[in-house]
Structure 1
Amino acid sequence: MARQLDEQLVGHFPVGRRLRVLDVGMGRGTQALRLARSGHQVTGLERDAERVATARATLAGEPEGIRERVRVVEGDGRDTGVHFLPGSFDVVLCHGVLMYVAEPDPLVAGLARMLAPGGLLSLLVRNGDAPAMRSGLRGDWARALAAFDTPCHADGSGPEVRADRLTNLTATLAGLGAPLHTWYGVRVFTDTAVDGARVAHTLGCPDDLATLLAVEERAGRTDPYRGVASLLHLCGVRG
C-alpha cells in the first residue's frame, strides 16, 4: 500500500513539493512517520489513547527535523471539522478506519472537505465484493456461504467488521467532488498467509520476500485479481 500511495504522490504533485498531510486514524504512526521522513508536514488524528502514546514515544526518538514535521492530535476521525479548517490539506489518508464505522458517508464527506483543490484522498477499506474469499480459501464453507449475503467481514480470526463495495464508494466520492482517480487491491494472495511472526521463517530469505511483494504489487493493479483482494485502496482527487 505504501508503494501504491507513493506512486500517486509522485504522479499527482510536483517533484519536491512539501505536502500537508492529514492521517485520520493514524494508529501507531507508521505511515505518518514514513511521510515525515520524506519531508512532508503530517498531522495524525487518532482516538485511541494507547496508540497516541505509542506514536508520540516513537516520534520522540526521531531527529528534531522530523519531529517538527509531525503533529499528533487525539480525537475522533468523524470530528475533523472541529479540529481543522476545510481545505487545509493536500493529502488526506484514512486507512483501515471505515470498516469500523457503521455509517461511512458522513466520515468520508468530512475527509473530502479537508482537501484543498486538487488534493488527494487515500482510503483503505475492506472489500465488500470479496467477503467470502478468505473463508472459502480456508475451507470454511459455512462461513463462506453466509458471507455472500452480508456487508460484514468475519473469518473467525477477529471481530466482525463492515466492508465497502467499490461501486458504492465510487458513487460517494463522485458526489463529494473528489471522484475516484484510481484504485488498487491490497492483500490479494497473502490474506490467507501465515502471520507476520512466521512469514520471515517461512519465506526463508529476503529474495523470497521481495518476490512476494512484487507479486502482490502486480496483482493489486491487475484485473481480475485486484477485484478479489481482501482490501481496496481507493484514491480520489478533489476537483
Structure 2
Amino acid sequence: MTRPRAALRTAVVWEVLKDALERRSASAGREALDVLDAGGGSGHFAVPLAALGHRVTVVDPSPNALFALERRAAEEGVAERVRGVQGDAHGLLEVAERGGYDAVLCHGVLEYVDDPAEGLANAVAALRPEGGTLSVLAAGLGGAVLARALAGHFTEAHRALTDPDGRWGSSDPVPRRFTPDQLRELVGETGLEIAAVHGVRVFSDLVPGALVDTEPQAVEALAQLEAAAAELPAFHAVATQLHLLAHSR
C-alpha cells in the first residue's frame, strides 16, 4: 500500500524525529517522554507522537487549532496524553515549564514570529538541560526562489533571492525564509549541538500532480527520492523547508 501524496511533506521530518526520540528514550531509560510542540496547531505531529506513548503539550495561539487538536486526539484515542494550551513563542515560558521537556518541536514558527532568536531561545529554555532534543522546521529560501522561477514568475524569484527576508512580494504569505547557513547560525547561537540538517520537500512541491497520480508506485518512488536527497547538502539550498535537529549538551 502506497502512502498518501500529502504525507511526502513531512515524511522525512517524521522519520528523523521518531528515530531521535527512540534514542532519547533509550538513553533516559523511559519509554514515555515529555514533548513540547510549540505552534503545533491541530496536532499533525503531536497526535502521532502521543500514539507512540509520549506525553505531548501543544502551545498554539489559535483557539480553533486547539479545538481541532482536542478532537483529533480524541478520535485517535490519545486524549489523555495530549494537552493543548493557548500561547505563542514570545510567551512560551509563561505556559510551558522551563527545562521540563525531553524534546521541543519548533515547526513552522520561526518564519512568523517577530524575533526568531527570541522564539528559538524560549524553545531551547524549555528543554531539559542535558540530552534534550530540539526539532526545527522552517521555510527555505532556495525552494521558494526555484518554485517562482519554474512557474515563470522571474521577477518575483529575483526579488525573493535579494530580499533580506526572502519574500517574493507584498502578497507573499510567508514573512521570512532562511538559508541553511542562516538556520544553522540561529540555532548554533543558542549553544545547542547541531546533530543534522535535512532538506524537506526538495522535489514534491515541484513535480506536477498528474505525473504522480497516474502511476500507482510513483508516490513511494518520490518519497524514496526525497529521503535520499534530504541529507545531501547540495539539495539543502533548493529545499522548500529546512529541518534541523539539535541537542542540549
Normalized against structure 2, the TM-score is what? Answer: 0.85
Superposed, 1:33-112 pairs within 5 Å as 33-63=47-77, 66-112=78-124
- Give the corresponding residue for 1:215: 225
Q: Does 1:178 align with 2:188?
A: no
The worse-fitting range, judged by mean Cα deviation, of 5-14 and 135-144 is: 5-14
- Alpha-carbon distance in structure 2 between the residues aligned to 1:57 and 1:114: 26
Deviations 1:47-76 (A, max 9, x none): 11111111111222232xx22111111111
Superposed, 1:139-218 pairs within 5 Å as 139-150=152-163, 151-154=165-168, 159-194=173-208, 199=209, 202-204=212-214, 206-218=216-228
Deviations 1:79-135 (A, max 9, x none): 111112321000000111111123200000000000011101001001135541111
Deviations 1:142-201 (A, max 9, x none): 11111221123348985142012322332232222213111100010112245xxxx489
* Aligned counterpart in structure 2 of residue 226 of structure 1, from 236, 244, 249: 236
Equivalent residue pairs, number: 233
Other structure's SS at 1:215 match: helix
- Give the corresponding residue for 2:149: 136
Tell me: CA distance 1:153–1:216, structure 2 relative to 1, closer, same or farther (3 Å).
Answer: farther
**Retained in 2: the 8 A contact 1:153–1:161?**
yes
- Alpha-carbon distance in structure 2 between the residues aligned to 1:89 and 1:110: 12
- Alpha-carbon distance in structure 2 between the residues aligned to 1:36 and 1:215: 28
- Alpha-carbon distance in structure 2 between the residues aligned to 1:115 and 1:206: 42
Superposed, 1:6-45 pairs within 5 Å as 6-14=18-26, 17-45=31-59
Tell me: CA distance 1:159–1:4, structure 2 relative to 1, closer, same or farther (3 Å).
Answer: same
CA RMSD of aligned residues (A): 2.2
- Give the corresponding residue for 2:4: none
- Alpha-carbon distance in structure 2 between the residues aligned to 1:153 and 1:220: 24
- Shift, 1:27, TM fit: 1.4
Tell me: CA distance 1:218–1:37, structure 2 relative to 1, closer, same or farther (3 Å).
Answer: same
Other structure's SS at 2:66 match: helix
- Alpha-carbon distance in structure 1 between the residues aligned to 2:141 and 2:25: 30
The worse-fitting range, judged by mean Cα deviation, of 213-222 and 146-155 is: 146-155
- Alpha-carbon distance in structure 1 between the residues aligned to 2:240 and 2:217: 24
Other structure's SS at 2:217 match: helix
- Give the corresponding residue for 1:118: 131
Normalized against structure 1, the TM-score is what? Answer: 0.88
* Aligned residue identity for 1:164: F
Tell me: CA distance 1:201–1:53, structure 2 relative to 1, closer, same or farther (3 Å).
Answer: farther
Tell me: CA distance 1:155–1:231, structure 2 relative to 1, closer, same or farther (3 Å).
Answer: farther
- Give % identity: 30
Deviations 1:27-58 (A, max 9, x none): 11121000000011110111111111111112
